[in-house]
Amino acid sequence: MSTPRRGGQHHGDERAGTRAGAASRDNGGQGAGDLSFGSTAGPWIAFDPPHPWAPPEHARAPVFAQQAPVDPFPWSTPTSFANPFHGPSTLNVPWGPPGEVPFAGFPAAGPAAPEPEWRHRRQDVFAGIGRRSVPAVVTDPDLDGADGGASCLPLARQAGVRAAARNNFIVSPLSFHAALALVAAGARGETQRELLGFLGSAESLSELHGAAATALVARLNDLPQTSFACGVWVDRRRALTPEFRDAAASRYAAVADSVDFASEPEAARRRVNAFVGEATRGLIGDVLPPGSVNSSTVLVLANAIYFKGTWARRFDRSRTFAAPFHLPGGATVRAPFMTTSPLSEDQQVAVFPGFKALKLPYKNDGGAAWFYMLLLLPDGEALTLSDLYDKAVSTPGFIRRHTPVDGVPVRRFMVPKFKFTFEFEASGDIQKLGVMRAFEGGDFSGMVSGGNGLFISGVYHKATVEVDEAGTVAAAATAVCMQQCARMDFVADRPFLFAIVEERSGAVLFLGHVVNPLVG
């Protein structure tokens, strides 16, 4: 190989198309954008002889390296990597703004996103765009259908923002929705009204059962990529009401089981965890941590979602390579990045104020639902990850509205492989969002005998995801534990105040206190 020739730095203007080895001259003037979920720092470098993997017309196209001279073919995967998805992915100045991959989207009910409108955009948005510009998805103000599981997005936002500075994060809004909807089905009075309001169905249970998320839950077992399991475990001294048992079975395919929480709480906990482990193919075996169930537990409701999707267009494993991934605070780790053949295929990307979006569809094997992963890459200056969470939560239909439709040519295309698990206890977050009575001693008389005075003692959630060249495997589980409020004691064995009152008028006839009942 001859000495590398250093090309000009990319500053986002049309000069990018005239650099040594730039592809736009040989690509019909279309050029290519840059979509990198990570960064390979350094200048353009052109190499001779021609790359063996490049088509003839792009034989001298540049490759990317940290510094010159370097090995231009870093395609072999190292034996081990640091966590590739531990924080924001900063794109260095020559290539674009910083960003991060926050979450995967679920399919949504309702009309599809509107067709994009082709517009000319500034050249520094997607470098190298020539006569063909990046599509901006037109947001139709009349398109206000809710995302599946959208009622629990505020809950996901609270936990996600808290974890954003240091941890990877994944939850299933759909699993949360199914768990709390089942709790609402057994609640009555103000307890139910609070839960329905949280779930976005303030009018009635029938409205909740007709919601898009609830309808999707009912179909998950009919789809080739997904499965859903739900169970209710009740103490053997109690009985589920026939109405609740029927609703749980018909709406959520829930199975009911009788266990001995009072005498064998640990055995009951293991029983629930075994159910979840089987439903998630062993990915989640301990949604209920030690101590979550005790002799006061009356009821546990749990569900599990499993997803396995193959990319509609798989990544080539032989092209996966190591490159820097930028963490919060400026540190970097070398992570495995998936990519495609240079300048080979269009990608479904779009540019919005402050962030870019990438849609990665999964293969449909004849099912009625079409799944995809949505990656949102905030620029980190005009828009942070927390800002993006706020937009996703506060704007109805945000995820659907910002899902790219058409493919466009992209110059650099890099997505990191990642695998991680996240778990947390959600009671505090749910209460901050307005659900109080269910945690303080609510009315669950529609769920179980002696249901008055039950309260939610814990809401446990655990989710895991793995993304690689073939596709995605993910699972999530939510378990709600309920206990009986302890009977109240009233022992007036210390100083107290007393009053004699006429009930209808409220008139106080006498008022006093006692500090020593033996003193006359």
23 and 83 together in one domain: yes
* CA dist 75 → 41, 132, 316, 392, 412 (Å): 17, 30, 11, 36, 15
Give the span between the Cα atoms of 379 and 282, in whole angstroms.
37
Dihedral sign for Cα 44, 48, 50, 53, please: negative
- Show the tokens assigned to 305: 């979602």
Residue 125's pLDDT is what? Answer: 27
* CA dist 463 → 216, 289, 423 (Å): 19, 14, 6
Per-residue pLDDT band for 319 (boundaries 50, 70, 90) equals very high
Q: How confident is the prediction for the chain on average, in pLDDT? A: 74
CATH of the domain at 343: 2.30.39.10
Q: Does 461 reside within a domain? A: yes
Give the span between the Cα atoms of 214 and 252, in whole angstroms.
8
Q: Identify the domain boundary among 416, 435, 462.
A: 416
Q: How far is CA 494 from the centre of its chain?
A: 53
- Tell whether the model's pLDDT for residue 6 goes beyond 80: no
Per-residue pLDDT band for 394 (boundaries 50, 70, 90) equals confident
Structure-token match 């808290």, residue found? 162
Q: How far is CA 61 from the centre of its chain?
A: 37
Q: What is the mean pLDDT of residues 237-252?
A: 93
Question: Hey, what amino acid is at 218?
Answer: A
Residue 322's pLDDT is what? Answer: 95
CB proximity list for 82: less than 8 A, separation 6 or greater: 333, 334, 335
Q: Does 157 reside within a domain? A: yes
Q: Identify the domain boundary among 361, 382, 416.
A: 416
Q: What percent of the chain has pLDDT over 70?
A: 69
Dihedral sign for Cα 339, 344, 347, 351, please: positive
32 and 181 together in one domain: no
Q: What is the mean pLDDT of residues 306-315?
A: 93
Closest CA to 286 of 307, 271, 308, 264: 271
Residue 382's pLDDT is what? Answer: 72
159 and 90 together in one domain: no
Give the span between the Cα atoms of 139 and 401, in whole angstroms.
6
* CA dist 106 → 307, 309, 362, 373 (Å): 10, 12, 11, 8
- Tell whether the model's pLDDT for residue 518 goes beyond 90: yes
E-strand stretches of 179-320:
226-235, 254-259, 297-310
CATH of the domain at 459: 3.30.497.10
Residue 217's pLDDT is what? Answer: 82
Q: Identify the domain boundary among 378, 394, 416.
A: 416
Q: What is the mean pLDDT of residues 321-329?
A: 87
Q: Does 496 reside within a domain? A: no
Output DSSP code: residue 36.
E
Residue 358's pLDDT is what? Answer: 93
299 and 226 together in one domain: yes
Residue 493's pLDDT is what? Answer: 94
Query: Is the model more confident about 135 or about 419?
Result: 419
464 and 347 together in one domain: no
Query: Is the model more confident about 145 or about 244?
Result: 244
Number of domains comprising the chain:
2
Q: What is the pLDDT of residues 86-118, one digit of tens each?
A: 333 333 323 333 333 333 333 333 343 333 333
Contact 379, 431 (CB under 8 A): no
Per-residue pLDDT band for 367 (boundaries 50, 70, 90) equals low
- Tell whether the model's pLDDT for residue 46 goes beyond 50: no
76 and 139 together in one domain: yes
Q: What is the pLDDT of residues 71-90, one digit of tens each?
A: 333 333 333 333 333 333 33
292 and 171 together in one domain: yes
Peptide bond before residue 69 is cis, with ω within 30 degrees of 0: yes
Query: Is the model more confident about 471 or about 486?
Result: 471
Q: What is the mean pLDDT of residues 490-504?
A: 92
- Tell whether the model's pLDDT for residue 359 goes beyond 90: yes
Q: What is the pLDDT of residues 192-234, one digit of tens each?
A: 999 999 998 767 787 787 777 777 787 888 888 899 999 999 9
Give the span between the Cα atoms of 293 and 299, in whole angstroms.
9
346 and 373 together in one domain: yes
Q: How many Cα atoms within 13 Å fall on the side-chain side of residue 447?
A: 34
Give the span between the Cα atoms of 356 and 274, in whole angstroms.
41
Q: What is the pLDDT of residues 257-310, one digit of tens each?
A: 999 999 999 999 999 999 999 999 999 999 999 999 999 999 999 999 999 999
Give the span between the Cα atoms of 350 and 381, in whole angstroms.
18
Q: Does 266 reside within a domain? A: yes
Contact 47, 71 (CB under 8 A): no
- Tell whether the model's pLDDT for residue 458 goes beyond 80: yes
User: Could you write out the three-class secondary structure of 235-249?
Assistant: ECCCCECHHHHHHHH
158 and 199 together in one domain: yes
Give the span between the Cα atoms of 143 and 137, in whole angstroms.
13
Contact 427, 456 (CB under 8 A): yes
Q: What is the pLDDT of residues 161-182, one digit of tens each?
A: 888 777 899 999 999 999 999 9
Task: Mean pLDDT check: name the lowest of 388-402, 423-437, 505-519.
Answer: 388-402
- Show the tokens assigned to 297: 């537990």
Per-residue pLDDT band for 344 (boundaries 50, 70, 90) equals low
- Tell whether the model's pLDDT for residue 391 goes beyond 50: yes
Q: What pairing do the DSSP bridges indicate for beta strands 226-235 and 254-259?
A: parallel
Q: Does 505 reside within a domain? A: no
Torsions phi, psi for 31 (to 5 deg): 70, -165
Q: What is the pLDDT of residues 9-43, one digit of tens each?
A: 333 333 333 333 333 333 333 333 455 655 333 32
Q: Does 211 reside within a domain? A: yes
Contact 119, 386 (CB under 8 A): no
Q: Which domain holds residue 369?
A: 5-104+111-144+321-416
140 and 239 together in one domain: no
CB proximity list for 228: less than 8 A, separation 6 or greater: 178, 217, 220, 221, 252, 253, 279, 303, 304, 305, 306
293 and 435 together in one domain: yes
Q: Does 501 reside within a domain? A: no
Closest CA to 30 of 411, 497, 429: 411
299 and 326 together in one domain: no
Per-residue pLDDT band for 61 (boundaries 50, 70, 90) equals very low
Residue 364's pLDDT is what? Answer: 87
* CA dist 150 → 157, 258, 397, 501 (Å): 11, 33, 8, 51
Q: What percent of the chain has pLDDT over 90?
A: 48
Q: Does 508 reside within a domain? A: no
